[in-house]
Amino acid sequence: MILLKPKTILLFILPLCIFLTFNKHSKDRANTYHGVIWADAAGYYIHQPIWFIYGNDAKAFPKNIELNTGNGFYLDTATNKVITKYPCGVAILQTPFFLASHFLAKVFHFEADGFSKIYSYGLYFAGIVYCCLGLFLLSRFLSQHFSSAVSVIAPLLFIAGTNLFYYSIDAPGMSHVYSFFLFCLIIYLTPTLTTKPRFSIFLLFFCCVTLATLTRPTNILIVLFPFFYNIKNKSEFVERILLFLKNKFVVLGTLLIASFLTLPQILYWNSTTGKLITYSYGNESFIFWNNPKLLEIWFCTNNGLFLYTPLIFISIVGIILMMKKKEWSGYFIAILFLVISYIFASWWNWWFGCSFGARSFVEYYSLLIIPFCYLLEYTKDKKVAKYTLVLAIAFCCYLNLNMEYYYDGCFYGDTWDFSSYLKLLNS
């Protein structure tokens, strides 16, 4: 049946997401707090006006545009350069949609300045397309390991029950839906990469890894997935390493070719700082290495992972079950979850500012869905466990969608302000 095939996601979710996105943003105005090109999103986006319209010439940009887009970048009058701390991976992935918007701007009588409303439309479609393609690829991968029903239903539950929905529909200018898509593509490529490795697959894999790193530097960790995928014991792990060593010239060659994707970033850094490599985040750093805010990023009212996205707790139960069953993938996902949690909890702004939930985890849902599916498969013949799980999932999806539709973009309470959090739940 078509309902049990991965293409269901494209046939059903794509038009639904188009409707939800344009309904959600129907009253938004460009260059406002609720606009898609605002604050951090503007910092990611600004590379495209630099590349295709103004060059790195601050004087050429519209007057006060940095203020009108939430100060996600700034125009340095002393050097006449446009300064953004954000890397260009998001902008590279947004480019087809930007160019389409730029072409259509004059056709539909918009200002072709890179910032009028039509450019927001382009970003709406970018979020929709990358989200749906990511879910489709993830479903294709899952179908190789789980039943057709689980492999289709689980991705749909993850968009309904996590803040992936928010960063695809509400805030597609942020980096997370693009990282999510790249992670899904990397995961989808991994079975072929580890069984029938060839030049084209390695090249696409390393292009994805490079773009993922240019999108968010911490995304580099996804490169480890092929080493642990479908491993059952130590000898198979050694064989996996030997497989990559056997293809070392292909690995090095494709990695070298993929590295050319970093040229726009290197040229931008050289233009603004005179250096080929620059740490663009200034004084922002991982200041909590010795005191990571783990409890906070998991449970606090200010964007705590499990309070805003409780569906992920079900994935944690799945991880425990996988480890109990001696599944190596379970151990890998558990360790990776702890590592990324430690990294995010060490960042100076561990709550990641105005966001909905723990946005830094969104791309890793592409991995956390695996133990989620494992748990679904395990309980499908256990009546009590199955119905308990169904009720828990339904509650998580309701909670997520209810909060997302009333969320203003920031949590205005303090770290452990449960009264403000409960008001959000009861909106």
Instruction: Decide if pLDDT at 2 tops 60.
Output: no
**Average pLDDT, stretch 76-99?**
97
Residue 221 falls within a domain, yes or no? Answer: yes
Token pair in block for residue 375: 């748990």
Instruction: Decide if pLDDT at 44 tops 90.
Output: yes
Chain mean pLDDT for the chain: 94
pLDDT of amino acid 1? 45
Residue 45 falls within a domain, yes or no? Answer: no
In angstroms, rounded to a whole number, what is the distance separating the alpha carbons of residues 326 and 125? Answer: 42
Instruction: Decide if pLDDT at 216 tops 70.
Output: yes
Distances (CA, A) of 164 to 44, 128, 173, 212, 240: 18, 11, 13, 17, 32
In angstroms, rounded to a whole number, what is the distance separating the alpha carbons of residues 319 and 313? Answer: 10
Domain span at residue 346 reads: 2-26+120-425
CB atoms within 10 A of CB 378: 17
Residue 52 falls within a domain, yes or no? Answer: no
Residue 56 falls within a domain, yes or no? Answer: no
Residue 180 falls within a domain, yes or no? Answer: yes
Q: How far does the chain reach from its first CA to its final CA, in angstroms?
A: 39
- Nearest C-alpha neighbor of 131 from the set 80, 208, 185, 193: 185
Domain count, the chain: 1
Residue 15 falls within a domain, yes or no? Answer: yes
Instruction: Decide if pLDDT at 124 tops 50.
Output: yes
In angstroms, rounded to a whole number, what is the distance separating the alpha carbons of residues 211 and 278? Answer: 17
pLDDT in tens, 223-272: 999 999 999 889 999 999 999 999 999 999 999 999 999 999 999 999 99
Residue 22 falls within a domain, yes or no? Answer: yes
The greatest distance separating any two alpha carbons of the chain, rounded to the nearest whole angstrom, comes to: 69
Instruction: Decide if pLDDT at 287 tops 60.
Output: yes
Residue 162 falls within a domain, yes or no? Answer: yes
What is the residue whose two structure tokens read 């309470």?
Answer: 413
Q: What DSSP element (H or E) covers 22?
A: helix 14-24
Instruction: Decide if pLDDT at 325 tops 80.
Output: yes
